[in-house]
Chains A and B, each alone.
Chain A
């Protein structure tokens, strides 16, 4: 659709110079770009567009038009993106129209990488367009001079808002926008989003509550060309590596210009990349990219990609966002996609510059994932996207916002409460909840009121709140942000000259290494030599089969919607859509036992190998099923059934033990399950980790003290001690309330156990069978078995003591 063919009335918004510039480049303005310019006066606008598609230019056109006459002084538009790299990329991209049209516009970015001098200057003399991240914005808002710096700000553009809205970074950003809106009442907001299941939800998240927010849709382009990869070899019964598909994947890479090969975890990406290279007889240039590789290494791969030097990149979610690579003509998803929305966004990474369909292939890693992939394909065709509804804005982020506000100067609690409630996620915040957060920030909020003298915030005679010690602002600023440092250690090649950084591994994994052990990182097998000043030193001498490094990072659980779609498929009389081997498997399950149903819990009990086994088909996603396994075995232990261990997947948990389960119903009693959950919270490592994140965000712990911990100084102590102390003496404390709320989601995901209990309402089908059932069989091959024992560490230590003492001819 030509630029010139648009109606004259609409054209008045953009100065003529823009029309000439578009013409000179032989470009047409896209309808959604024009619409954006037409509606530039709206208080909030959300644009949904696939990757690329000129959506960033659409976001900036009204700004460029406004600034074209050179009359605006100071900051005009703030652009916020989740990635530093994206801010830098946009700055380069904006240079072209600005330079070619000769517009008098200053554009700068400001991220953690910007020099201190440049940052100081930006505060005194801000550019017209500032490109930044949510964390840098929060920091700017903490300065006393924020009102001066943001005076005159007209627009804020939030890029990749769909990604931000899924994390606390987005919540912090929206609280920041609420603050900005107080400083600049006629500020207009624009959000740019990829395809999402609930555009209205994102719109409500973006707009000032209760302002309306119009949603613009860019042409989504042709429907994607998406299929399951067919291979000679059948997918295996279990596991997640998809090693069987290596040859077929290489074949696809050969047939395409550039292929992105997405994996769900970093560890799987490493293994797949390693195996791909072992089979890569033509030495096709293939790279690897994930969040645990060193920045240097990632940038090299990105540069090679942009230069067109790579035929494929094995990657993870680290490439879900970011730089627009036009030459990708195939996306391969290894392993079931777990979540349809993310699959659609990943598929969008291919071919978006050419109005051709995106091409994607799904590679199930095991037999069950064949079912999941077919269900996901149906969902994509029906455009039935999934997503977990967002809960209310997290209160730890609010605590940090109160601290940030206090840094910028005295504030009134009433005014701040009203301001916070204009952020969509916090619109339903009760005043009492706000007051709890304020009390926590000011006094610690403990049942034992002991900080009278050292309160963090004091109420002034005029009723406003201020920092007790203004010098504290410096420390608070150093801890702004919601991104969690995980306990990782850098990995470095050991050379005479210091050595090249390769990436990082989890501290817990590093602690299990002994010199001589080998592991995979960045696709190479390296040998552990030792730990030196908290850096893992490695060499390239690889003489043993590698261990698999563990990386932090999310383990995606199959979404609720995809799980129920699978359960719906199970109701079909036959499965013509499934490959024969998988259809036969399901038919056999129906014949020998039964297929799980959405509104009932199927429990199978059967003996195998001298042990009693119980398989529970809960379809609640892997994190919730893991939690369910822990809770059920705990309840079985209490009932004297002596469970010995369990293993879980996205759809089931298999428990083995000495005695058979005769009546599973009491095990699923919601009241006792919740009580077991409360008990279990105390000693649980995931809960402790989540407490630490919450306490750090809320300002109870300092993130920068982590550095001291890593340097091994004895002055700092573990946050686990604080967690245990609070549980013991102040179990109702705000930090524990928030930690419990977090446990309903994420790695503990107790919320989905609740959802499972609600949908099945005590309807339990218990089948006692004489042998392993077809659907349970793959669970016997799953990795990640969890042994049930009273106190694992105590027993392991005791066994280690006797082993060592026996070796030495002693008795412990």
Chain B
């Protein structure tokens, strides 16, 4: 396991290179924005027939993280399904696969904007969930503290020695952490986007995914840096 550790409101969290976050003290693994069934929804909605392998790929990577961490609790932080119809149309073998992953652990589906209602799969369905000092929800609440969320699919853009590199990333600030999208068929929102800038101001770190994790300071607009903020803990 990668040794990188971030402390959020006293909780010691370990972001993993796959894009999930591991909380060893709680034996808790959290992933966000799986977007299962995306190819199904795109076929239904606009006719393009994308390679229908993203469910398999996403679940394989999730399974690898679950096996490596032996997590007792798994939180899927919303937008686990690209829409409720996509969740309903998952083939039987995929349902069985998910049931196998769920066996013997507490599994929580947090509601997202793509999958607002409960799905007919095992596990608990919650709007949000508190564990110790942290709250897990899909979309960041600007007033919250000690919050882990997803939704935005943050992505870093760096230029190093003339090469432009764009990678999904974790954003870790003083009061919150935003997870990258874990699903295979997901895009990203640049870290320079105003929503992310406002949520992460005045100061945040980006942890870029790759073979290993690469922490970099997140560039924050000067006007937002100047705003009052809680003193670093």
B187 touches A713 (CB 8 A): yes
Distance between B72 CB and nearest chain A CB, rounded to angstroms:
31
Q: A450-B91, A472-B46 are in contact. Are A797 and B158 (CB under 8 A)?
A: yes
- B48-56, B100-108, B223-231: which lies at the interface: B48-56
Closest to B167 in A: A797
CB distance from B78 to the nearest CB of A (A): 14
Q: How far is B89's CA from A668's CA once the two chains are assembled, in angstroms?
A: 51
A451 at the interface (CB under 8 A from B): yes
B11 CB within 8 Å of chain A: no
Query: Is B216 positioned at the interface, with any CB of A under 8 Å from its CB?
Result: yes
Cβ contacts under 8 Å, B187 to chain A: 709, 713-718
The residues in A between 340 and 393 inclusive whose CB is less than 8 angstroms from any CB of B are none
Chain B residues 157 to 177 lying within 8 A of chain A, measured CB to CB, are 157-167
- A733 CB within 8 Å of chain B: yes
Q: How far is the CA of A443 from the CA of B48 in the complex (A)?
A: 10
Within B86-112, the residues touching A (CB, 8 Å) are 89, 91
Q: Interface-forming stretch among B115-123, B127-135, B136-144, B207-215? A: B207-215
Contacts of B57 in A (CB 8 A): 725, 728-729
Q: What's the nearest-Cβ distance from chain A to residue B178, in Å? A: 12
Q: Which residues of B contact A717 (CB under 8 A)?
A: 185-188
Q: Does B189 lie at the interface of the complex (its beta carbon under 8 Å from any beta carbon of A)?
A: yes
User: CA A797 – CA B164 in complex, angstroms?
Assistant: 11
Contact stretch, chosen from A14-22, A54-62, A508-516: A508-516
- Tell me, yes or no, whether B7 is within 8 Å of chain A by CB: no
Specify which chain A residues have a CB less than 8 angstroms from the CB of B52 in the assembled complex: 444, 446, 448, 450-451
- Per the bound structure, the CA–CA distance linking A511 and B166 in Å amounts to 10
Pair A514/B49 contact, Cβ less than 8 Å: no
- A444 to B53 CA separation, bound complex (whole angstroms): 12
Among A451, A716, A726, point to the contact of B49 (Cβ < 8 A).
A451
State which of A455, A472, A714 has its C-beta within 8 Å of the C-beta of B186. Answer: A714
Chain A residues contacting B167 (CB-CB under 8 Å) are 797
> In whole Å, how far is B91's beta carbon from the nearest beta carbon of chain A?
7
Which one, B51, B163, B166, B184, contacts A796 given CB within 8 A?
B163
Q: Are the C-beta atoms of B190 and A712 separated by less than 8 Å?
A: yes
Q: How many Å from the CB of A143 to the closest CB on chain B?
A: 18
A730 touching B53, Cβ below 8 Å:
yes
User: B49 to A800, Cβ gap below 8 A?
Assistant: no
| Interface CB pairs A-B, < 8 A, 7 | A444-B50, A444-B52, A511-B166, A512-B159, A700-B50, A796-B161, A797-B165
Interface size class of A (residues with CB under 8 A): 35 or more
* Binding-face segment, A74-82, A193-201, A786-794: A786-794
Q: Which residues of B contact A456 (CB under 8 A)?
A: 43, 47, 49
* Residues in B whose Cβ lies below 8 Å from that of A714: 152-153, 155, 181, 186-189
The residue from B43, B53, B159, B160 contacting A448, defined by CB atoms under 8 A apart: B53
Give the residues in chain B near A508, CB-CB below 8 Å.
Answer: 164
How far apart are the CA atoms of A791 and B216 in the complex, in Å? 19
Q: Which residues of B contact A800 (CB under 8 A)?
A: 158, 160, 214, 216
Contact B186 A511 (CB under 8 A): no
- B162 adjacent to A512 (CB under 8 Å): yes
B83 contacts chain A at the CB level, 8 A cutoff: no
Is B40 close to A, CB under 8 A?
yes
- Whether A812 contacts B215 in the complex (CB less than 8 A), given A456-B47, A699-B48, A721-B184, comes out as yes
**Interface: A585 (CB within 8 A):** no
Asked if A555 is at the interface of the complex by the 8 Å CB criterion, the answer is: no
Residues of chain A lying within 8 A (CB to CB) of residue B153: 714
A residues bordering B, Cβ < 8 Å? 443-444, 446, 448, 450-451, 453-456, 467-469, 472, 475-476, 507-508, 511-514, 699-702, 709, 712-718, 721-722, 725-726, 728-730, 733, 791-794, 796-801, 804-805, 808, 812
**B64 at the A interface (CB under 8 A):** no
Question: In the complex, how many angstroms separate the beta carbon of A347 from the nearest chain B beta carbon?
Answer: 37
CA distance A734 to B69 in the complex (A): 39
Chain B residues with CB under 8 Å of A808's CB are 217
- Check A796/B160 contact, CB under 8 A, given A456-B49, A722-B50, A725-B53: yes
CB A135 to nearest CB in B, in angstroms, measures: 20
Contact A511 B49 (CB under 8 A): no
| A511 B159 Cβ-Cβ under 8 A | yes
Q: Are A712 and B51 in contact (CB under 8 A)?
A: no
- Sample of 9 further A-B pairs with CB below 8 A, known A472-B46, A722-B50: A444-B49, A446-B51, A450-B39, A453-B44, A714-B152, A714-B186, A721-B184, A725-B185, A729-B51
Centre residue among B46, B56, B211 by max chain A CB count within 10 A:
B46
Query: Closest CB-CB distance, B191 to chain A, in whole Å?
Result: 10
Shortest A645–chain B CB gap in Å is 14
Query: A793 contacts B53, CB within 8 Å?
Result: no
Provide the residues of chain A in CB contact with B181, threshold 8 Å. Answer: 714
Question: Is the CB–CB distance between A702 and B210 below 8 Å?
Answer: no
CA distance in complex: A804, B91 (Å)? 48
Give the chain A neighbours of B91 by CB distance below 8 A: 450
With a cutoff of 8 Å between Cβ atoms, the chain A residues found around residue B39 in the complex are 450
Q: Quick one: which of B48, B158, B189, B208 contacts A713, CB cutoff 8 A?
A: B189
Chain B residues whose C-beta falls within 8 Å of the C-beta of A797 in the assembled complex: 158, 160, 165, 167, 208, 210, 214
Partner of A454, one of B44, B189, B193: B44
| Chain A to chain B: the 3 pairs with minimum beta-carbon distance, closest first | A511-B164, A444-B49, A717-B187
**Interfacial chain A residues near B184, Cβ < 8 Å:** 721, 725
Q: Which residues of A contact B54 (CB under 8 A)?
A: 725
B49 touches A794 (CB 8 A): no
Q: How far is the CA of A476 from the CA of B214 in the complex (A)?
A: 41
Kindly provide the distance from the CB of A193 to the nearest chain B CB, expressed in whole angstroms: 37
A812 to B212, CA, bound (A): 12
Residues of A within 8 A of B89 (CB): 453
B149 to chain A, nearest CB (A): 14
A791: B residues at CB distance < 8 A: 211
Which chain B residues (14-50) contact chain A, with CB distance < 8 Å? 39-40, 43-44, 46-50
Chain B contacts for A716, CB-based, 8 A:
187
Contact of B51 among A475, A507, A725, A801 (CB under 8 A): A725
Q: Which residues of A contact B186 (CB under 8 A)?
A: 714, 717
- A701 engages B43 (CB within 8 Å): no
Q: How far is the CB of B217 from chain A (nearest CB, A)?
A: 7
A42 smallest CB distance to B (angstroms)? 42
Tell whether, in the assembled complex, residue B53 and residue A801 are in contact, meaning their CB atoms are under 8 Å apart: no
Cross-chain contact B51 with A443 (CB below 8 angstroms): no
The distance in angstroms between the C-alpha atoms of A799 and B163, with both chains bound, is 13
Write out the residue numbers on chain B whose beta carbons fall within 8 Å of the beta carbon of A469. 47
Q: Which residues of A contact B53 (CB under 8 A)?
A: 446, 448, 725-726, 728-730
Assembled-state Cα–Cα distance A725/B190 (Å): 23
CB distance from B124 to the nearest CB of A (A): 27
In the complex, which residue of chain A has the Cβ closest to the Cβ of B185? A717
Q: CB-nearest residue of chain A relative to B161?
A: A796
Known contacts A443-B49, A446-B52, A712-B193; A451 and B159 CB within 8 A of each other: no
Quick one: closest B residue to A448, CB to CB? Answer: B52
Per the bound structure, the CA–CA distance linking A607 and B200 in Å amounts to: 54
Kindly list chain A residues whose C-beta atoms are within 8 Å of the C-beta of B162: 512
Measured CB to CB, the closest approach of chain A to B80, in angstroms, equals: 16
Closest to B217 in A: A804
Chain A nearest CB: distance from B6 CB in Å?
14
Instruction: Let me know if B189 and A514 touch, CB within 8 A.
Output: no
B211 touching A794, Cβ below 8 Å: yes
A450-B52, A797-B214, A800-B216 in contact; A702/B46 too (CB < 8 A)?
Answer: yes
Contact A700 B48 (CB under 8 A): yes
User: Shortest CB–CB separation between residue A445 and chain B, in angstroms?
Assistant: 8
Q: Specify which chain B residues have a CB less than 8 angstroms from the CB of A446 in the assembled complex.
A: 49, 51-53
Residues on B with beta carbons closer than 8 Å to the beta carbon of A728: 53, 57
Q: Which B residues lie within 8 Å of A798 (CB)? A: 212, 214
Nearest-neighbour CB distance to chain A for B223, whole angstroms, equals: 14
Which of chain B's residues have a CB closer than 8 A to the CB of A448?
52-53
Which chain A residues border B44 with CB–CB below 8 Å?
453-454
| Alpha-carbon separation in the docked complex, A443 to B43 (Å) | 10
> A706 to nearest B CB, angstroms?
12
Distance A446 CA – B43 CA, assembled complex (angstroms):
13
